């Protein structure tokens, strides 16, 4: 990677690290590199919990243009046909001491949000498709989306309390995954488990690049 000339305006700037400490990053030529990972999955699968387990969660307001296609799904009777609605999206931020900040964006899983994903996926490290074994079908559209765009992705199966455990092979088959797509079991409430999910994705993205 080429090293950029150091920017004097950055010399005094500080960024809060994950545990709230202040770290001076101005000395490094590669300070302020922001990278992103998408966390996709159906409603209530634990996206926000996952992001919150490893970073501070902040809300992001977006606006969804309602089209005729979605008026059939939502009950919008009495509301003007051409209207916008705010979609609250979550994101988390992990600031590393070397000037890299990793952003985690939780994205709504339904197909009608694909217009948002298209912009978000560009430049991303990859995506985590968060799945729930009780509702595996909720993951299909996300998997389709990333497969078609050759975006590196992994499937993380959230093991809810009391949810029946399924062997990875069975899940892989049910989701019709390519053999190289990693599947990991996780507990989105546990920091180490989430760390494992993210590490698996980044490793997979690297493998995909060098293959």
Partner 1 sequence: MESPQERRIGPAAGPLVRPYALTGGRTRPQGIRLDLVTVLIATGAVSDEQARMSRHQRRLLELCRTPHTLADLTAEMNLPLGVVQVLLADLHRQGLVEEHREAPLAARPDPLLLKRVLDDLRAL
- Residue number with CB closer to partner 1 (101 or 158): 101
DSSP count for the chain of H helices, then E strands: 6, 9
- Closest approach, Cβ 170 to partner 1, in A, equals 29
Strands 56-65 and 84-95, bridge-based pairing: antiparallel
3-class state of residue 194 by DSSP: helix
- As measured in angstroms, the least distance from the Cβ of 158 to partner 1 is 19
Cβ proximity to partner 1: between 16 and 137 the closer is 16
DSSP state, 178? -
68 or 209: CB nearest partner 1 = 209
Q: Which residues bind partner 1 (CB under 8 A)?
A: 1-2, 4, 7, 9-10, 13, 18, 29-30, 32-36, 54, 58-63, 86, 91, 93-94, 96-98, 100-103, 105, 119-120, 122-125, 152, 195, 198-199, 202-203, 205-206, 209-210
* Angle at alpha carbon of residue 19, lines to 14 and 21, rounded to 5°: 35
Cβ at position 186, least distance to partner 1 in Å: 14
Asked whether the beta carbons of 6 and 30 are under 8 A apart, the reply is no
Put the strands of the sheet holding 100-108 in their side by side order: 56-65, 84-95, 100-108, 33-41, 126-131, 153-158, 183-186
Q: Which is nearer to partner 1, 39 or 94 (CB)?
A: 94
24 Cβ contact partners less than 8 Å away, ≥ 6 residues apart: 13, 14
Residue with smaller CB distance to partner 1, 63 or 75: 63
Q: State whether residue 28 is helix, strand or coil.
A: coil
- Residue where the block lists tokens 């053999």: 179
Q: Given the complex with partner 1, which of 10 and 174 has the nearer CB atom?
A: 10
């Amino acid at each position: 990677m080429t090293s950029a000339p150091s920017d004097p305006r950055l010399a005094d700037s500080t960024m809060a690290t994950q545990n709230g400490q202040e770290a001076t990053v101005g000395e490094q030529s590669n300070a302020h590199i922001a990278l992103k990972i998408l966390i996709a999955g159906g409603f209530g699968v634990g996206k926000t919990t996952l992001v919150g387990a490893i970073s501070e969660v902040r809300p992001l307001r977006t606006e969804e243009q309602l089209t005729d296609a979605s008026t059939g799904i939502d009950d919008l009777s009495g509301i003007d046909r051409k209207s916008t609605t705010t979609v609250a999206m979550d994101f988390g931020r992990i600031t590393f001491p070397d000037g890299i900040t990793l952003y985690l964006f939780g994205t709504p899983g339904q197909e009608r949000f694909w217009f948002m994903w298209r912009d978000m996926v560009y430049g991303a490290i990859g995506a985590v498709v968060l799945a729930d074994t009780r509702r595996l079908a909720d993951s299909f559209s996300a998997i389709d989306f990333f497969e078609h765009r050759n975006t590196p992705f992994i499937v993380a199966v959230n093991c809810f309390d009391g949810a029946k455990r399924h062997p990875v092979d069975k899940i892989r088959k049910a989701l019709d995954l390519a053999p190289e797509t990693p599947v990991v079991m996780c507990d989105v409430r546990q920091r180490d488990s989430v760390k494992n999910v993210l590490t698996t994705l980044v490793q997979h993205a690297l493998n995909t690049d060098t293959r």
